[in-house]
Chains A and B, each alone.
Chain A
Amino acid sequence: MTHASVFRGSHKCTTMRSNSRPCGQTTPLASRCYSHAKVETDEEFDARWVTYFSKPDIDAWELKKGMNTLIGYDLVPEPKILDSALRACRRLNDLASAIRILEAVKDKSGPHKDIYPYLIQELQPTLIELGISTPEDLGMDKL
């Protein structure tokens, strides 16, 4: 798996230069009307979120806000982001939220059934270390 967030949503395009155009078409250099904003790479995105959850004195509101925002994005978070979030739960003494986060990313994967087992596999050391049971362990993945 690459560094990029797994199954990321739409990617922004970058400006094209006229040098690459085929013969017969002349386009002035850099006259496209694309935004000049800097596009955040997947690594930067991941790092930003890992940092967010790694705040040592993170409070419950920030955890909630962070998780709800993250789940709102069109992507399944990388294991390293989830690891950081689970550790934040540990600092806040909140096991229930940790289990909830696992449920949420499983739901986020949608029809791609292979994402969640991959995430659990990557998070296994953290889950064992912190003593977080998965919803499957607790029988909460069934109705």
Chain B
Amino acid sequence: MMSSKEARSLKMLHLTTGRVGCLLSKQVVVALTSSGARMSSHGHHEVSDSVDMSQPMYWDRLDTPLPDRPWKDVLDSTDKSLKQKEKGPWTALSKEEKIALYRLKFNHTYPEMKRPSHEWKTVIGGMFIVFGITGLVVLWQCHYVYPPQPHTFGEEWQAKQVQRMLDMQINPIEGFSAQWDYKNKQWK
């Protein structure tokens, strides 16, 4: 579900589902408004026009339990009658009615806000893709860019170099020549 990525590619300020803990964005959910002809009675929050930021907004945030406005404020008749019933004793409400009242006022519950996402897979996958591309670039570079290795890297030269270093007794106390057993002509 990368709606937040796609949304950001558009020019206008699109506000899509806010997800707590999302690395890429932390945006406000557009609550239903009664403006214009965009009246829908269910919790659908896709917005094609820009949002009026001067109006109170709804957001699901762990540290803001009661947002500035309810999630759904376009109430149809069943909602309105439920709201009327809410004015009476709450013991008279059934569990379903209580849940319905909660869902009228709020979009996500706290567990829903805190649900883990699959975003980490995108991040790790993206990382590996970048490593891969970098690896390809390095390979190309090794083949086409680097000059030939100096002759001093060859096997024969290296062997002669080591022998010369031993003959000179390079670092004879604790270093290079110290590891060579001169008596038996081998490494210790």
Q: Does A132 contact B90, Cβ atoms closer than 8 Å?
A: yes
Q: Does A71 contact B90, Cβ atoms closer than 8 Å?
A: no
Chain A interface residues toward B at CB < 8 A? 63-64, 67-68, 71-72, 90, 93-97, 99-101, 103-104, 106-107, 130-133, 135, 137-143
A95 with B62, Cβ < 8 A, contacts A104-B110, A133-B95 known: no
Q: Does A141 contact B111, Cβ atoms closer than 8 Å?
A: yes
The CA of A93 and the CA of B101, in the complex, are separated in Å by 11
Q: Does A138 contact B62, Cβ atoms closer than 8 Å?
A: no
21 residue pairs of the A-B complex, CB under 8 angstroms, read A64-B68, A67-B66, A68-B65, A72-B63, A94-B105, A95-B93, A95-B102, A96-B102, A99-B98, A100-B66, A100-B102, A100-B106, A103-B65, A104-B65, A107-B62, A130-B90, A131-B91, A133-B95, A133-B98, A137-B95, A142-B111
The count of residues in chain B whose C-beta lies closer than 8 Å to any C-beta of chain A is 29
Q: Does B65 contact A101, Cβ atoms closer than 8 Å?
A: yes
A131 with B66, Cβ < 8 A, contacts A138-B102, A141-B111 known: no
CB-CB contacts below 8 Å: B39-82 with A: 62-68, 70
A130 CB → nearest B CB, Å: 6
